[in-house]
Structure 1
Amino acid sequence: MIPDPTKPEFAVLRFGDRRVPRALRDIPASTVTAPADIDAVTGCRRVIVVGSDADLAAVLTRLLRTDRLDVELAYLPRWRTAATRAYGLPTGWRAARLARAGTAHRVPLIRDDGGHALVGAALWVGATEFDSGAPTASLHGEAVVDDTVLFDGEVTAIRVEPMRMQPGLRAAALSRRMRPTRWVSGRAAQLGTPGAFVVRDDETVNRSMRRSTFYRHTTGWLAVR
């Protein structure tokens, strides 16, 4: 999409009670309360997201669904997150400085089969409740990354993460202490199970699923770093 010349070059999307850094307060800012607030600024060349991984994923999901992946995204989280680690994104004062002056790089866009973007990490778990950060029930079924079997039978959980380069994502079975046992990279990770819950960027999908897939979209997104 070609940016609209009648709109500002930059715009800030602020989520919740997040504060816009002083260095960026001259840029028009909108507080997001509905998807229409995101749509209102995507004619800009660059959108600066002040929020969490889930908020960045919400903006990217909207760009994906409205075919606006030529909009550059700068991310300003409060602290280091799964998304900043996965994509090598800056944090703190450096993120604020590069939000305006940084260069956008096309990186893999990971989405699920429902059209939701993943920017940090997803979990496939066998229960909705957690005890000290670990699922209270095992995950049963089979998961594959491309043609590699990740597990067949029972595991604690599966973690899926985006990558900043091809093939696009990686996944691993987790130990009882929620540590990855073996990473496998590929274009897609698929799960078949009698029932599992998906935790996507720290937000739990509120229904059990028998199948779930995360995969690299045909077009990447423009991450500022």
Structure 2
Amino acid sequence: MTCLVLACGDAPVPPRLAELATVTAPAVPAKPDFDELLPRLDELGERSTSAPRLIVVGEDAALAAALTRLMRSERLSVELAYVTATRTAATRLYRLPTGSPAADLAVLGRAAPLPLVRDDSGTALVGLATITGPEGGELVGETYADSTRLFSGTVRSVRVAPTLEAPGVRATVGRGWGFLGPRWTGARAVQTGSTAAVVTRDGVTTPRSLKRCSFYRHPQDWLLVR
């Protein structure tokens, strides 16, 4: 197994990973960080008969940034492992451990394919996206999961998350302070049109409101160590 660690922000790196080759980056890595990292991954892959493995140490936003760059650079054969200190939307979704057990799994575990969910900006979603109006206010518009209309009018928010298998993505609508059943509706695509929608994707909020946003399953799966 050929591993490279991406240590993001001030996330603690477990001792299990201390002797592996490591690249440091901000809490949410950007394109210049991956311009340095990806050639090193390619080199590691050329030296080994197995697929290279990138171990992301950080938060959900860091994992999403890594997956986004692998997708955009057509490197989805790279295995991703995730190590974080506390429970997150992604660790709950994929049933991943945290802390030292996560580091052990990152090195010793096996990668399995999962549906890759992206939005219309070409950014991957690994845990949870929440759609609201400006400043967390009510969302005015409508949302469809494939051909099923989830709401039309005004709601508190919409939540979108990947699924572990087909169809790939799911969504639920919040009215008031709760979420009404059916709790989740699965689809290949979830599309929202709004007078002003603000999207928080894996903890990162869009800097301005949007008229439309879509999340849908990418044609190719990604590989996660679970």
Q: Is the 8 A contact 2:12 2:85 kept in 1?
A: no
Q: TM-score, normalised by structure 1?
A: 0.89
Aligned length: 211
Q: 1:100 to 1:175 in 2, by over 3 A?
A: same
State the shift of 1:178 in Å: 4.8
Q: How does 1:42-191 map to 2 (within 5 A)?
A: 42-43=41-42, 44=44, 45-128=52-135, 135=136, 137-179=137-179, 181=181, 182-191=183-192
Give the letter for the 1:187 counterpart. Answer: R
State the shift of 1:177 in Å: 2.1
- Hey, what's the Cα distance between the residues in 2 that align with 1:100 and 1:120? 22
Which residue of structure 2 lines up, in the alignment, with residue 38 of structure 1? 37
Consecutive unaligned residues in structure 2, runs of 5 or more: 27-32, 45-51
The SS at the match of 2:134 is coil
Q: What whole-Å deviation, never above 9, does each CA across 1:97-125 have from its counterpart, x for those lacking one? A: 11111000000111000100001100111
Supply the RMSD in Å over aligned alpha carbons: 1.5
After superposing on structure 2, the runs of 4+ consecutive aligned residues of structure 1 that deviate more than 3 Å are: 178-181
The SS at the match of 2:54 is strand
Q: What whole-Å deviation, never above 9, does each CA across 1:31-74 have from its counterpart, x for those lacking one? A: 02523243244324101000000000000000010000000000
- Hey, what's the Cα distance between the residues in 1 that align with 2:168 and 2:40? 28
Q: Is the 8 A contact 1:106 1:221 kept in 2?
A: yes
Q: 1:178 to 1:36 in 2, by over 3 A?
A: farther
Q: Is the 8 A contact 1:41 1:47 kept in 2?
A: no
- Equivalent in 3, 16, 26 of residue 9 of structure 2: 16
- Hey, what's the Cα distance between the residues in 1 that align with 2:98 and 2:12? 14
Q: Is the 8 A contact 1:171 1:184 kept in 2?
A: yes
- Hey, what's the Cα distance between the residues in 2 that align with 1:113 and 1:163? 18
Richer in helix (by share)? 2
Consecutive unaligned residues in structure 1, runs of 5 or more: 1-7, 129-134
